[in-house]
A and B are shown apart, each in its own frame.
Chain A
Amino acid sequence: MSNILQLIDRGKPTLRGWQESDRITAGEAEKMQDPAGDNPRRTATAIPTPFGRMHLLETAFKFVRQQPQGNSLYHRLVSQCWDMLELLFYNKATDAYRLRFVPWAKQEQVDQLRQSPEPRIRLLGNTLRLYLNDPHFRDFDTLYLIFADSRDASGHETRQLLGGTSPFTLVFAHPAVPRLNMQRKGDGNGFYFDQQVVPLNQRSAEFQTYLFGLFEVYPELRQENFAQCIAQFLAATDKGRVQRLAELKPAAAVFEQPYEPLRDTLGNNVQVRGVTLSKLAEAQQKTSSDWFIRFNERVAQTGKVPLVLMPGLDLRRSDYFGGTAGTDQTVVQWGYENQSLEERRLETLGVQYPFLTVNDFLEDRLLEVPFAVNTERYYFGQVQPEPGARPEDRPLRFLLPIKRAWFAYFEPADLDKQLRLTLFDNHVQVRLAVPVSSGREVVYERSYYFRPGPGQGADAPVEAVRSDSPKTPYRGGRVSARLDVGVFPFYKFEGANARDNGPYYVQLADQNEGADLAQLRFYQGSQVLPALVPGGTRGVRTRQRMGRNPRGPASTYYEVVGTHFDYMEVSAPVSGYSAAPAATGLLVPRWHTVNPGAQRYTFAVDFGTTNTHVAYATGERPEPQPFRIANEREMEVVMLNRPLPANDFVLPKRYGSDSFGMMPLADTLRNREFVPAFIGIEGAESAFPIRTATCESPAFISEGNPLLFGSINIGFYLSRDGFLYNHPEDGRYRTNLKWDTEGSERAAGVERIRAYIRELLLLIKHKVALNEGDVRATQVVWSRPLSMKTVARRDFHDIWHQEFERVFGEEPGQRLADLSESWAPYLYLTDRHTDGGIVPSDRDNVVNIDIGGGTTDVLLLRGKKPEATFSFRFAGDVLWGDGAFGGARQQNGLLYYYVARTANKPVSQEAAAAREVVRAALESKAGSADVVSLLFNFDKQLEFSRELRSARQLRIVLLLHYAAVVYHVGQVCQARQVAVPRHLCFSGKGSTYLRMLDLDPHLNTLTEIGKLILEFAAGQPAPSDFRLTLVGQPKEATANGSVLWKLAGGDAAQAKAPAEFVLAGVLPADAPEGPPRAFTLAEAESDTIEDEVIANARRLVRFITHDSPEIRGLLDELNVEIDPDFVYSFLDGKLKDSLRAGLNSLRDNGTNADDRLPETLFFFPFRDALFQLGRELFKRYYASQSN
């Protein structure tokens, strides 16, 4: 109290009564003691003007200047003003709150109010006019209303009036300005307008720099009737800085450089009494954070580097973003499914900046497959059982629940570092530790519960339990996906060699229920590989092959062209919930990265009518070997399912059906439609030579543009796949490919061969790559039959070249060669690396007879020089088929014999499976040749060869076959005036019957008979040291010879086959005059020629049955018994029809009347006649014995 009735002591205690004093200044007023402690709770608008709020803020600045510490109304008001200026300073068009400045033009607005017909509105206008005369408002032409527009998650637009500009303090806030859901910049100091006091010196340095600079550059701001209160405040806050700036005298242009003016809705600068308010240019705004994803530097980033955030992440005391720490209210959601990364706004900052959260990387649901997955060949991170459990009790049966977004930042190998799967009894805990810029990791964790509830089927989906709170766990669910995936090949090149990658083929076997099939998508980095467009060089082709069926999995095939892929996204329909979105999971192959080495590989392909062989050799190992996939390194197809443990089983068994868990039929699908895991090793389902067959989808013929595997593939599994014979709707094996390019099915035939060769070349390429050979130096030799017509031969040539270029990525040049089928076996026989045992010499003539399934190719050498080569279609099929000219199937006498003899014979367990296949083939009315091929394949189990040994009455057919071939060779020798060869060599799969015929390992009897026939045919004696050589592995000879030829440099002279010689096949002249002439088809069809051909055939038959006592004496050695008259007369009756049918088929296959005969006519009479004979002999001697 004072004797002066006053609230402040003004130092005038002597006043008495009303006495003159002086004005109380604002400064004095500020010293007034407030018994309430200067902490009024309510906004006081004590200043008696409508603009009281502006004045009040000015007052607040003066007060806070004197009392910087505190939390009074004034402190809060000042802080609010800083908030506003700071908000303006940092605002960006992309912020959650978009600022808008709407001008309130003083004169215009006041006039408008004052002219209103409504007295109250006039009153407002008059009043405003009155007070706008106050000194501060001079030159204050426009007040800008400051709006913040925002849009909530549902798209609802909110416009909030935040405040306005003020000639006292630049800006002032709305009296009830709402707290924005936007953090202040800086150390996590809460939210804009949250009523907290954040002093200027605790605000961002950038903002302070701007503010101090502004007041230096625009001195008018410091005037009493302008923003002096702030100027004084700044001086009081940091006098040093103000002084330094004053000395520095920054030019306005320099000062404004980092800023850009705020603009109102009309595009004008937002000014307060001529001073433009600015914001920090966006380019200047900091984008620092402790939480940037530390992406793999090899993964190129284009956009902004996102932050890695998650619910419950403590962002306080860290640089959340732009130098600002998070608050305890900064709550990141589990997911922002409706917003792209770019659209997202950082929680509580409101800044639009991309960030990641848990759902971006982790799926809601696990995809469970019905087997343990291969964690060695696919990335699954670190997989471990729960503590105390054994790994074998906790197999991993899931796809990766990682989303592909992860790959926008990382490479597959990073999964090993970041991902850990812990397997519990009822859930899988997934931890993904994502590295961030601060050096820390943000661990995304989710537990996926995979046991359906009680009473639900094992496959019932387990739904994820979503959470919208960081405190509540977000539980992952599980979807059962009965599917398997195989990838062919399973390696990739890197760097410059990456051009050699692909094509990749991926099999998706899908045994789920429901109409929809699972699907794969392929990604490189975060880019999905597009569907391959016609003419495109990079992309994916897709073909569904098998639809849903009760017999096994559906299948879909993908061809990835022009690149490797980093991972696949599997999308599986949720079983029984067709409306539900498909569940997705990733599969990331741990590619075998191939480093091309120097080793050069040479392969040869003997694409035969019945069988195909692929052999190869390298410079280091020049001995030809059959193509094999022999070990895990060489595996070209890798399935998702895990192999059985090592050491317990042979390799193929480990990767066999038992490894497919609850989906064993996927193994069949792999073998039937895709590529076997192993070839040519013990326990493998197939080995080269293989039956020449494709496996085709029923749609193959009709669909066109076939996709390898998607429509057709090499029928590796033919000999094991009895099932398919009776289910053509699931596909069929197609044999007799080689001659399919002739005749009406030419287009489909070409496609079959193309697919077959493509797959062979792929197998070759991948084998080289996986053995770290030089893919670009790989050579391939294919052998070419002589008897093939020119058109067909050109088809082959084109197919080989095109497919080579397609598979190896460049024109073949010298790397692809072809060799006559007649040459190749000879080269093999004479190679010093082989066991052929024939040493070429100038004195000895040699003949090699390569009997295939369809053709026999003969090379006749005079000394080391080729004398003649010829080919004829008289080969294995004649013995084992159903006649040369079509007709009913399964009519073959030898086959009948075997079947009749063994039908009720008990077989070993081992043989039972083989017999099932044969039975199925028989039931499916497969041709005799196909069935016999199976029987040869299972000869060990089913003893076909052995059974035929006892077919005494039938074996004459085999002998006649042999005799015809040798006889023709002899006649050629005579015609060419070549001495009878010393070496009579046989190769080719078709020649194996010779071993059935002569049980003696040295084939002494057949040698003797051969010699007799040669002499008879050639009319001259054979060399005394005449030898018959049968190649140990007759089928391999051609391919092996080709390999050896290529290895030896590929003598061009040899590649170019010797001139083909076609002996008409008529009776030999006693003394031939000059070289025998060639006939045209028209000539051949003359009665004279026909008769002579028949006579010549009859001559041979007669020689065997009647005229050669030596031979007759030897028949018993061969266990051949004949009724000579019956045999002779039966054949005699059939020879002519057989010849005629042969001639007709020539015409049917496009040989014109004027064309030279493509082959000798000699065998035409036998081709059907021998088949008829076999059938007849069976009927005659054995039919009654069978049931």
Chain B
Amino acid sequence: MSTLYIFGIGGTGSRVIRSLTMLLAAGVELKNCDRVVPIIIDPDATNGDKQRTIELLKTYQRLRSHIKPAAPGSSTAGQFFGADIQTLASLARPGEQRDARVKDTFEYSFSGMEEPLRDYLRYHSLPVESQYLVDLLFDPKSLDENLKVGFKGSPNVGSVVLNQLVDSPEFQFFGNEFRAGDRIFFISSIFGGTGAAGFPLLLKNLRDRDANLPHIELLNTAPIGALSLLPYFSLKSEDSSAIDSNTFITKTKAALAYYQHNLTGLNAMYYLGDQAQKQNDNHEGGISQQNNAHFIEVVGALAVLDFLDKPASIANEEHFYEFGLERDESDLRFEHFDRRQTLPLVGEALTRFHFFATWLQHHLGETMSATYATNLGLKNAWDRDPFYQDLRRFLFDYNSPDRQFISYTAWLRELRDNARRFRPFNLRDGYDPQNHWDSMNDLLEPDFDKAVAGKELKKKGLFGKSDVIDPQKIRVMLDKRLSQAVASDTASSPATALVRTFSEVMDEVVSGQQLI
């Protein structure tokens, strides 16, 4: 039972994990890994990106808790919500006494974030020489501003504050749970504050023989990969903001130079960046820092999958990776992914999942009385059962609180509207942020033939009016498969049945066409 620990550091970490979560929901296969433990490290407690990702992870986790795990030995590959995503706390083995301070959450809970760095460091209690050293190492603004909103793009501040993690019960617990065969992956940006600092810091600690951690010898030798995101968006410049995208490149260069000589013990380094296309609103953090999902984050999520694909022997090696598209265009579709590796990995899975969502969005209503629906008791359960509520939330932001739009649909919409634009599926125009839900309801293209961008299917029949992918046929398949599923595993929950059935049916639908 090997585990992948993903440290998602800073806002970038959260955003990549969001995309990763979408891929996992779609059933993208994780190699060499049985479960994923995301640990989001972001001292900015109210960061919008982080909150959304955690909410997403929690929703995923709840959804998955309704789904019966696959029998040992059998793969869940291809199955929606197939990957096991767990909180760190949940790793506690039966009977194991867990430190009460280790909360059952995806995020590491920072302390002292209400203070300015000066107080955080207990500056006035420091030996005077070290006070002066602190003065030299940190600029006065960094020292005197509240840490709450992150590190203001100051990795040197982060490198100290984030180090509290290592002594924390959570990290001790992590070390304690760590087993041979487990892997570690860091997601961070190189140009920000938190991520840029946290990644090298944690890496150094993990590779430090003298680090005060359980299983340090395992940690010292575990395969560690990292995605270091180079700039891929720019911020609208505001003079008053500490985060100034004008410094992104500067910082990137500096960090890259630092990594070259000072970052040792990393087995797989994933470089990813893009020429800035779009200016995002500049927020120094907090709830308003909620950035639209970006294609790069999807690619970043793919790096995690790629790392898992590497053999365990990578632990003794040092590799560097870069990502290439088929073509350099600003409007990307599946066809821009390479056909050899990436497209097979994500194309069909996402399309299956997309059809799943499309069905539930546009076709469930008219088939509520169909056999499959009746078998699942959807008529009653759809609005009331927690599983369905979570599912609908995951897919359509059903019942999502204001601005916490975690859904797959929202994700697609954001990818489409960002730059580079990633539009694997055709969405209807006219998203209105002021009227999110209504807009969302209408966003997915109901016509399966027209769903996959660039791969729209030509209608058949006379006058071109017959669907190639015929919902009637899908309904038939659903009816049939669900009955089989219920029959074969009576112990399964309706949720398990639904997920498995749809996974199989959509696999059939998709693989039957030249969609990818």
Contacts and interface: CB of A to CB of B under 8 A. Distances in A.
A10 B246 CA distance: 23
A21 B134 CA distance: 38
A47 B296 CA distance: 23
Contact of A18 (B167, B262, B303): B303
A52 B136 CA distance: 10
B208 A130 contact: yes
A56 B251 CA distance: 9
Interface string B217-251: 00000000000001110100000001011110111
B247 A19 contact: no
B130 A104 contact: yes
B163 A127 contact: yes
B258 A47 contact: yes
Contacts of A73: 250
B288 interface: no
Contact of A62 (B196, B257, B274): B257
B99 interface: no
B330 A1 contact: yes
Contacts of A1074: none
Interface in B145-198: 153-160, 163-164, 166-167, 190-191, 196-198
Contact of A6 (B112, B271, B303): B271
Interface stretch (B316-324, B379-387, B446-454, B504-512): B316-324
Nearest to A16: B338
A20 B320 contact: yes
A41 B196 contact: no
Contact of A5 (B122, B163, B272, B330): B272
A17 B156 contact: no
B91 interface: no
A176 B140 CA distance: 7
B270 to A, nearest CB: 7
Contacts of B160: 50, 123-124, 127
Interface in B118-137: 120-122, 125-127, 129-130, 132-137
Interface stretch (A114-122, A526-534, A1059-1067): A114-122
A47 B155 contact: yes
B492 to A, nearest CB: 36
B253 A59 contact: yes
A384 B83 CA distance: 105
Best-buried of B164, B262, B340 by chain A (most CB within 10 Å): B262
Interface in B239-298: 242, 244-247, 249-262, 269-276, 296
A62 B261 CA distance: 15
B256 A15 contact: no
A32 B252 contact: yes
B152 to A, nearest CB: 10
A45 B155 contact: yes
B320 A23 contact: yes
Given A29-B252, A45-B156, A126 B261 contact: no
A711 B299 CA distance: 112
Contacts of A130: 163, 201, 204-205, 208
A1172 B157 CA distance: 123
A36 interface: yes
A7 interface: yes
Contacts of A45: 138-139, 142, 154-157
A1181 to B, nearest CB: 115
Contacts of A30: 253, 257
A744 interface: no
Contacts of B136: 53, 145, 161, 163-164, 172, 174-175
Given A3-B328, A49-B159, A174 B320 contact: no
A34 B273 contact: no
A951 B342 CA distance: 158
Contacts of B260: 23-26
Given A1-B275, A52-B137, A145-B136, A46 B155 contact: yes
B496 to A, nearest CB: 33
Given A46-B255, A164-B136, A120 B327 contact: no
Contacts of B112: 120
A1 B208 CA distance: 39
Contacts of B324: 3-5, 12-17, 19
Nearest to B229: A5
A44 B127 contact: no
A134 interface: yes
Contact of A7 (B153, B231, B325, B341): B231
B254 A47 contact: yes
A7 B252 contact: yes
Contacts of A40: 244, 246-247, 250
A39 interface: yes
A625 interface: no
Given A48-B159, A59-B253, A120-B120, A113 B247 contact: no
A135 interface: yes
B306 interface: yes
A42 B164 contact: no
Nearest to B133: A104
A1105 B82 CA distance: 175
B442 to A, nearest CB: 32
Contacts of B259: 24
Interface string A31-75: 011111011111111111111110110110011000000000110
B130 A113 contact: yes
B250 A145 contact: no
Contacts of B323: 4-6, 15, 17-19
A1014 B82 CA distance: 172
A102 interface: yes
B199 interface: yes
A225 interface: yes
Nearest to B342: A17
A12 B322 contact: yes
Best-buried of A38, A44, A119 by chain B (most CB within 10 Å): A44
A175 B200 CA distance: 23
Nearest to A102: B129
Given A32-B252, A50-B137, A172-B136, A3 B326 contact: yes
A2 interface: yes
B197 to A, nearest CB: 4
B302 interface: yes
A44 B155 CA distance: 9
B295 to A, nearest CB: 9
Given A5-B323, A131-B159, A48 B274 contact: no
B130 A38 contact: no
Contacts of A52: 137, 155-156, 159, 254
B372 interface: no
A174 to B, nearest CB: 6
A247 interface: no
Nearest to B139: A175
B337 interface: yes
A123 B249 contact: no
B122 A113 contact: no
Best-buried of B200, B257, B340 by chain A (most CB within 10 Å): B257
A161 to B, nearest CB: 6
A143 interface: yes
A1 B332 CA distance: 13
Given A50-B156, A59-B253, A16 B341 contact: yes
A620 interface: no
Given A2-B275, A42-B244, A175-B138, 19 more contacts: A4-B322, A5-B325, A6-B323, A17-B337, A17-B341, A19-B321, A19-B322, A19-B323, A23-B260, A23-B320, A25-B256, A35-B276, A46-B255, A48-B158, A51-B137, A104-B129, A124-B126, A127-B160, A224-B261
5 closest A-B pairs by beta carbon, nearest first, are A46-B251, A26-B257, A52-B156, A15-B324, A16-B338
21 contacts: A1-B328, A5-B296, A6-B271, A6-B273, A6-B274, A12-B324, A18-B341, A21-B320, A21-B321, A23-B320, A34-B249, A44-B250, A46-B250, A51-B156, A56-B254, A112-B130, A121-B121, A123-B160, A131-B204, A134-B262, A224-B261
